[in-house]
Amino acid sequence: MEEKLTLFKNRKRFGIEKNIDIIFKNTALFFSSFVAIILLGIFLVVFFQSFESFSRYGLKFLVTSEWNPVKDEYGAFSAIYGTLVTSFLSLLITIPLGVGTAIFITEDFVPKVLREIVGSFVELLAAIPSVVLGLWAIFVMEPFFRAFFVFLHNFFGWIPLFSTEPTGRNSLLAILILVVMLLPIVTSIARDSLNQVPKKLRNAAYGIGASRWKTIFSVILPAALSGIMAGVLLALGRAMGETMAVTMIIGNSNAFSWSLLSPGYTISSMLANQFGEADGSQVSSLFYAAFVLMILSLVVNIFAQWLVKKFSLKY
C-alpha cells in the first residue's frame, strides 16, 4: 500500500498545483511542529524567569517554608508539601471509588440502560468547570462537612493529621473537591480498560468454577491493571496542576501544618493568589515554584505515557 502511495506522489506535476501541494504540506508540517515550539517555549521561559531565584536559593527553596516579600525570603516547602499531600490523598480516595464505579458499569448487576446513564453522568461531571466546583465547595460543601470536621478533631485530635481546630476552609476540603474532579478521569479510563479485556478470559474463569468476584479480582482486574494505572497517573498529574477549585477552598495559608484541618497551600494556588500583584524577586520565586510544578506534572505524565506504551493490552 505504501508503495502505491509513493508511486502516485512521484508522478510529475507542473505549475501552480505542484507549488500549492508543497506549500500545503509544509504549512501542515509547520503547524504540527507548533506543539514542540510551545512546549519548548514554556519550558525555557519558565526556566529563565526563575533563574534569579534559583541562583539565590538553590535547592534550599524546596525545603524552607519562609515566604516573606518584606524580608525578600522565599521557600516553597509548604506549597510543595500541600501539592503532594492533596493530590496523593485525593487519589487514595478516588481509586477505589472510580474502579468500583467502573466495575459497576462494565458488569451486569443492573440493566444496561441504567449503567449507561451512570456512565454518562460520571463523564458529564468532568465537563463542569473547576471554578464552579470551587463555588459549590465554598457555599455547600464547607457548611455540610463542618460538623463532621469538628467530630474528627474531637475524637481523633491526637492524630497530627486532625490536630487543629477546624475553622472554615482547609486542606481536607480541597482533597474532597479533588476527589470529585478526579473521579470521572479514573472511572472512564478504568471502564475502557475493563471493556478491552476479552470475553473469553471471563468465560474461561467461569468455566473452571470461579465466582463473579473471584473472576474480577483474579482475572479481569489484573488484565486491565496497566490501563487503570495509566489513568491513575493521568489523574495524579491533573490533581497536582488543578488550580481554581483548590485555591478557592484550601484557605491559602503558607504556614506549615501537619493537620489537614488547617488552611494550606499548593503551588498552583500560590501562583493564582500572588502572581497578579507580585513584583521584584517574588516574581522570580513564583516562576521557580511554577517550574517545580511543571517538572512534577511532566514526570508523572511521561511516566503514564510510558506505562501505556509498555503494557498496553496485547490480546
Partner 1 sequence: MSRNIGDKFFTSLSVIFALIAILPLIFLVTYILIKGGSQITPELFTLEPNPPGDDLDAGGINPALIGTLIITTIASIIAIPVGVGGGIYLAEYSKGGAFSRFIRFGVNVLAGVPSIIAGVFIYALIVSTKILFGSMYSGLAGGMALSILMLPTVIKTTDEGLKLVPNELRYASLGVGASMYTTILKVTLPSAFRSIATGVVLGIARAAGETAPLIFTALFSYYYISGFGDLFYEMGSLAVLIYNFALEPYDAQNKLAWAASFILVLSILSVNIFSRILAAFTEKTKRV
CA distances, 168 to each of 13, 146, 164, 262, 267 (Å): 72, 7, 12, 9, 21
Shortest reach from residue 23's CB to partner 1, in Å: 8
Considering the complex, state which of residue 62 and residue 153 has its C-beta at the smaller distance from partner 1: 62
**Residue whose C-alpha cell is 470521572:** 184
Shortest reach from residue 170's CB to partner 1, in Å: 16
3-state secondary structure of 48: helix
Pairing label, strands 67-68, 73-74: antiparallel
Shortest reach from residue 199's CB to partner 1, in Å: 20
Shortest reach from residue 215's CB to partner 1, in Å: 10
Spell out where 24-152 has E strands. Answer: 67-68, 73-74
In DSSP notation, 121-174 reads: HHHHHTTS-HHHHHHHIIIIIHHHHHHHHHHHHHHHTTSGGG-S---SS-HHHH
Considering the complex, state which of residue 223 and residue 300 has its C-beta at the smaller distance from partner 1: 300
Shortest reach from residue 43's CB to partner 1, in Å: 9
Considering the complex, state which of residue 259 and residue 294 has its C-beta at the smaller distance from partner 1: 294
Considering the complex, state which of residue 120 and residue 154 has its C-beta at the smaller distance from partner 1: 120
User: Euclidean distance between the first and final Cα of the chain, in Å?
Assistant: 26
Amino acid, single-letter form, for residue 309: K
Considering the complex, state which of residue 163 and residue 308 has its C-beta at the smaller distance from partner 1: 308
